[in-house]
Structure 1
């Protein structure tokens, strides 16, 4: 498959950790009848959306509109743990869902928005992910990748596209916002409060679990000028100055917020940003780990964004809206796998 990441050293580490856990785990602690329980919670950066085959498969009656896929990082880690068990079988319950917010993980019912073969009357609402995952005192590990939709980062990107196309500043729009719009400072402060509440609820529901939070990758280049403003397969009409602002004043602070709150709770934070620098949406197809506004995706994924004029079919692409591709999920999987193995070693 295209976009594969070579990771022999990471594989060696994973195998080593598996052997250590196998040696140190008490006899019968996690045998076939008593598997480790891992719950994966999160948004589209966890679910996968257009990377690999849909899970559940197309046509399956249990599809819920959340767009989980076979090559998203939870599924990749699951396969690695099956091949090299950390002292016993690890059972994954993946309830991540595209477009999920922090509240959708903790307490709110979410109405999924999958564009892939939706029911005639739309997708029914699903319970909060904490409930769907069945977190309880038997849960061993919880991984969480969420927060972007609570800004919302995707909505901000679309606003920046519009602002850039008309010669306006996205930065000014969010630092001195119009009436009814939060400033970026207020957005980040609100996200911090919501994240605190969410982690408190996760720990309440799964008091004995090791909790692992996952940050966001470097979807934006280190220099906005690296992007071709004529290319929708990159960041389209977003100005170079606004790209730099989105990186330094939005994405990095968002990751910092997740890390700081995680540290407060004593949880492990997985940094996927540092390792993905240089693999942003403005890189060539064989280098990028995240697709641009338009990009490459599986055939079942649509090429246009309903309700907008954005139609990626005009350039032979599909609507990817700056999401990780297979290589991006492989990179995240390597880091999350290590964190899960370490968490089980500490139990």
Structure 2
């Protein structure tokens, strides 16, 4: 989700989903509460990566909001990356959103210890790990400061960086707008609570017109944004290569969220997705496939390694223990429509495998 100056977009989505999408959780155990961050999104939260020591943050950004957090591995093994920089949006920054899981950085970025970049850093024994990921990021936030004053993520790069992971593009092409138009708004209207939810829905929609309805968003607005994403990704890659010419770059795509209808209708937790038509659900599935197609093609054009973790059977309609993405997060502690801890662990293994680790 896109970062806004008023609150964490990840937590805005959590609140909206909790109000509208959460079904009765008969038999559910230990629903995970959503933490409330400090009022000032630039406020720092602190937490360390297991097995790594906390280092010194990068230059403070506009408005006082520090950006990347730096960690080190004492006695890093031979062959480990000397400097690993993680870039990206909430699919790279956010796992479980219980307070104890949060790492160093602006609270609005919602970086957690179980997200795939810290797992990759630990798996490789990286001498230095720089976590610049931030929930809500778009490509503009890699190249310039975001609305909260978090500095450009690419400022974390230098000539000594030898590994970069990158997960970006979902917010550029309307991930939040699709969720808003195809799940939150239809269910809110059906429940008679749309006026209550609308301010949050509008925040999630950003530049997209979700009041035009799900078909318009997935068939017209999102494809137009996808067409513009190619050149933005090329610009990002060019800047990565300029700043870190010796770095290996791994582009990480997005986990599958919405499965086929047979799987969807078999899972009561996914009932909120049944209020739109079969054609609209097909449009959402095409949308998630198209994002990964663009991510993979841009990686290939720019000499990066693409990891697309879209294996079936682990969508937000899978059994709870097998979910890599969750709809509401109430049973897994994940942010709504975001990776679970298990999902991040899978992505980390895919990245490590691509690196030969």
Same structural fold, with TM-score higher than 0.5 when normalized by the shorter chain: yes
1:252 Cα deviation from its structure 2 partner: 0.7
Structure 2 CA distance for aligned equivalents of residues 70 and 247 of structure 1: 29
TM-score (norm 1): 0.67
The answer to whether the aligner puts 1:110 opposite 2:149 as a matched pair is no
1:50 Cα deviation from its structure 2 partner: 2.7
Q: Which moved more, 1:324-333 or 1:147-156?
A: 147-156
Q: Which of 95, 98, 101 does residue 54 from structure 1 map onto?
A: 101
1:174 Cα deviation from its structure 2 partner: 4.0
The answer to whether the aligner puts 1:77 opposite 2:120 as a matched pair is yes
Structure 1 CA distance for aligned equivalents of residues 331 and 346 of structure 2: 18
Q: Deviations over 1:21-58 (max 9, x none)?
A: xxxxxxxxx878x961110101111012535743436x
**Cα pair 1:224 1:240 within 8 Å, conserved:** no
Q: Deviations over 1:49-98 (max 9, x none)?
A: 535743436xxxx544311111111111222223xxxxxx5321111011
Structure 1 CA distance for aligned equivalents of residues 101 and 321 of structure 2: 24
TM-score (norm 2): 0.65
**Cα pair 1:169 1:242 within 8 Å, conserved:** no
Q: Which of 195, 198, 204 does residue 242 from structure 2 map onto?
A: 204
**Which secondary structure state, in structure 1, belongs to the residue aligned with residue 165 of structure 2?**
strand
The answer to whether the aligner puts 1:130 opposite 2:154 as a matched pair is yes
Q: CA RMSD in A?
A: 3.0
Judging changes above 3 Å, is the alpha-carbon distance between structure 1 residues 205 and 242 closer, same or farther for their aligned structure 2 residues? same
Q: Which of 231, 234, 242 does residue 193 from structure 1 map onto?
A: 231
Q: Which of 314, 326, 331 does residue 341 from structure 2 map onto?
A: 326
1:146 Cα deviation from its structure 2 partner: 1.0
Q: Which of 300, 323, 326 does residue 263 from structure 1 map onto?
A: 300
- Unaligned residue ranges in structure 1 (runs of 5+): 3-29, 83-88, 112-123, 177-182, 299-317, 343-347
Structure 2 CA distance for aligned equivalents of residues 243 and 261 of structure 1: 26
**Cα pair 1:42 1:95 within 8 Å, conserved:** yes
Determine which structure has more spread, i.e. the larger CA radius of gyration.
1
1:235 Cα deviation from its structure 2 partner: 3.8
**Which secondary structure state, in structure 2, belongs to the residue aligned with residue 151 of structure 1?**
coil
Q: Which residue of 2 aligns with 1:215?
A: 253
**Cα pair 1:232 1:293 within 8 Å, conserved:** no
Q: Deviations over 1:104-161 (max 9, x none)?
A: 11x12113xxxxxxxxxxxx41111001x2x122110111011111112122211112
**Cα pair 1:73 1:329 within 8 Å, conserved:** yes
Structure 2 CA distance for aligned equivalents of residues 75 and 251 of structure 1: 25
Judging changes above 3 Å, is the alpha-carbon distance between structure 1 residues 56 and 169 closer, same or farther for their aligned structure 2 residues? closer
Q: Which residue of 1 aligns with 2:128?
A: 91
Q: Which residue of 1 aligns with 2:323?
A: 288
**Which secondary structure state, in structure 1, belongs to the residue aligned with residue 320 of structure 2?**
coil
1:271-282 correspondence runs (5 A): 271-274=308-311, 277-282=312-317
**Cα pair 1:50 1:67 within 8 Å, conserved:** no
**Which secondary structure state, in structure 2, belongs to the residue aligned with residue 200 of structure 1?**
helix
**Cα pair 1:49 1:98 within 8 Å, conserved:** no
- Unaligned residue ranges in structure 2 (runs of 5+): 1-29, 31-75, 191-211
Equivalenced residues, count: 260
Structure 2 CA distance for aligned equivalents of residues 282 and 91 of structure 1: 37
**Cα pair 1:51 1:70 within 8 Å, conserved:** no
The answer to whether the aligner puts 1:245 opposite 2:289 as a matched pair is no
Judging changes above 3 Å, is the alpha-carbon distance between structure 1 residues 322 and 233 closer, same or farther for their aligned structure 2 residues? farther
1:220 Cα deviation from its structure 2 partner: 1.1
**Which secondary structure state, in structure 2, belongs to the residue aligned with residue 65 of structure 1?**
helix
Structure 2 CA distance for aligned equivalents of residues 227 and 210 of structure 1: 42
Q: Deviations over 1:221-249 (max 9, x none)?
A: 0336624697468647444432221112x
Judging changes above 3 Å, is the alpha-carbon distance between structure 1 residues 73 and 241 closer, same or farther for their aligned structure 2 residues? same
Judging changes above 3 Å, is the alpha-carbon distance between structure 1 residues 238 and 71 closer, same or farther for their aligned structure 2 residues? farther
Q: Which moved more, 1:93-102 or 1:64-73?
A: 64-73
1:339 Cα deviation from its structure 2 partner: 2.6
**Which secondary structure state, in structure 2, belongs to the residue aligned with residue 76 of structure 1?**
helix
